[in-house]
Structure 1
Amino acid sequence: MFRDVRRPDQPNGRDQPLLGPVRLGGLALPNRVVMAPMTRARASGPGRVPTDLHAAYYAQRATAGLIVAEGAWVSERAVGFPRVPGIYAEAQVEAWLRVTGVVHALGGRIVLQLWHAGAFSHPDHLGGERPAGPSPVDPGETCRTEAGPRPTVTPREMTPADIDRTVAEYAAAAVNARRAGFDGVEVAANGAYLLAQFMNPRLNVRRDGYGADRARLPLEVVDAVAAAWDPARTGVRLSPWWTAADACRPAEGYPYTADEAALADYDGLVEELDGRGLAYLHLRGRALPRPGAVPDFAGFARYRRLFGGPLIANHGFGREAGNAVVEAGIADAVSFASPFIANPDLVARFALGVEPASDDPGTRYGGGPRGYVDYPIWPG
């Protein structure tokens, strides 16, 4: 079904598959190089409001085919990481409008990821209240707080009323994102956060319909968000191979690998997402077995067969592997995370065949301009 072009001798220039145009639902992209959502923790002021630094950061990267902006909290109850902006308050909407305005002025496209930490939070973030999750099962993770790292706690089980309110908060966040000038939204159902927690058989041991059908809440959220805006402006991010215990440490055996039962649940979820007319499915692939290894195309191909809409592949890709997965017909676009930190001109570097620079891991989270908006454009 797919051609084997894992290691092509890709020429420089516009004839690279990554540099060709593509349509993702209602989004027309000039190239297939997507900036992945990355938490950078620069919303250090009151109210979880994005700042002028955010506007400068995203403006520098406006040549990406699509920017998926960092996850933004859908409500105060969703918070699980310090200095991350929200999309639930009017001041946040107004501040994001400045960000999207400058990106659009430079010809870019930008969508906002909608985020809820669920049980992967801490009372320090929630006014002393326990986080809510699918079941009273401690994720066993370490949560970042303003006071430093804290172990997660046993959450309280979400009631039906909690669930209804959460779905409504996602829908309201989508409306706010549209008002803030975004071109679309991405539902974060990946990682170790709320919607992925409902998909996880260790964390979701409910005895109601949300336990019998672990995909029920993710689908309800996607449907509510799509109805609040437009399915063609709604993307979904999944990480089927990520298990909750892998968020901060490797599991036994191959890291980030869910068992076949969990993958079967994700198969069912993706089959349900197919046919909803969504903008795209954004998949984080398996962890690389070693630095520099070629990403596992087979995992993406598994879901390419189940989802007929546009697919964005993520995790561990460079220029050659990115061109290869698009050329093979497995993905329609490829997203890059850390390469975009140190290379705001990543698209141009791919076009010219210039090796991307490496970022400083010590400045990824928190702080000010250093390591955020001061990386040079090639050749410096």
Structure 2
Amino acid sequence: MKAICWMGRDKVEVQEVPEPRILNARDAVVRVTSTAICGSDLHLYDGYIPTMKKGDVLGHEFMGEVVEVGPGVSNLRVGDRVVVPFPIACGGCLSCQSGMYSVCENSNPNAGLAEKLMGHAPAGIFGYSHMLGGYPGGQAQYARVPFADVGPIKIENGLPDEKVLFLSDILPTGWMGAEMCDIKPGDVIAIWGAGPVGQFAAVSAFLLGAERVVVIDRFPYRLEIAARTGADTLNYEETDVLDALRDMTAGRGPDACIDAVGMEAHYPVPAMHAYDRAKQATRMETDRPYVLREAIMACRNGGIVSVIGVYGGFVDKFPVGSFMNRSLTMRTGQCHVQRYLKPLLERIRAGDIDPAFVISHRVRLEDAPHAYEMFKHKENECNKVVLQPW
């Protein structure tokens, strides 16, 4: 079968790889009908996530048709159409029973690698390094889905792929980012990052009752998409974000701040951006935390900082004094996607949200190498790429 393989920093290739097969009783094999390139895939592409190996199959946002099921899977049948969550979860451990599927205790066979960096291991993730399980991803024509009796959700009402594909990751991630803000009527929510996750976080914040949402980015076309959700927008290359947010909130600051950027944040002051880039390049820090710093500084006293942008390791100059002395709360995590599948599918069915609005490009799987470059460099107003494997 054809698959997108990681071949080193800034290089992916379409290769012929063996088709997956059932390895465990709770496995299923899915014929992928739609998959996508996620912003967090760029962290792999840029070489910032350790334990990648040449030839690894990428992709954690995918859906398709079940073509084979193991004897331990009783809730799926061949022919079922499913969306597959990006975290792999067993459904039975303490974390899964608590609804914290992205920290499943049983789905990461390489937990020891993750423990060396993180202390404890999170769940396995499709196509996202050997530290997170080494599972082949879904940017391919077929994918093996472990614990298929727990993860995938059946799509039974004829909704097209583009309306439900993003249940695999970015729609629940944006929703969880807003949910962690404990939004109350009248709240002002600031979101750093106007990519698809930030756009979904804005929609989610309004649906959860926010009065005002402010989205911060530097790309006009992404800010235009965010504005269509009803959000106010700030271009951080044209305005001082902290001053602007104080003005918008009568000096108090936003009630909650969402970091939807993560480890490769850009800084508007060249010297400071170069500082973090240099420290990251020399591995004196693994992540560029400018957005995280600014979100903490911007948030009102006693407010919430919600972090859904991906971080991989360690950061420099974390403003712990501001965080501690101003009674802030931080909430974060890879999204517990399985928790949100049914309620968000119902919102899609009800017309509360049409996730397809984030899609800017639809390309064949064979064109993925060009699509990765286009997405990385924000060429042709690239917002979200959907790949067609067939």
- Give me the TM-score of the superposition, normalised by structure 2: 0.30
Structure having the higher strand fraction is: 2
Q: TM-score, normalised by structure 1?
A: 0.31
**Structure with more relative contact order (C-alpha pairs < 8 Å, separation 6 or more):** 1
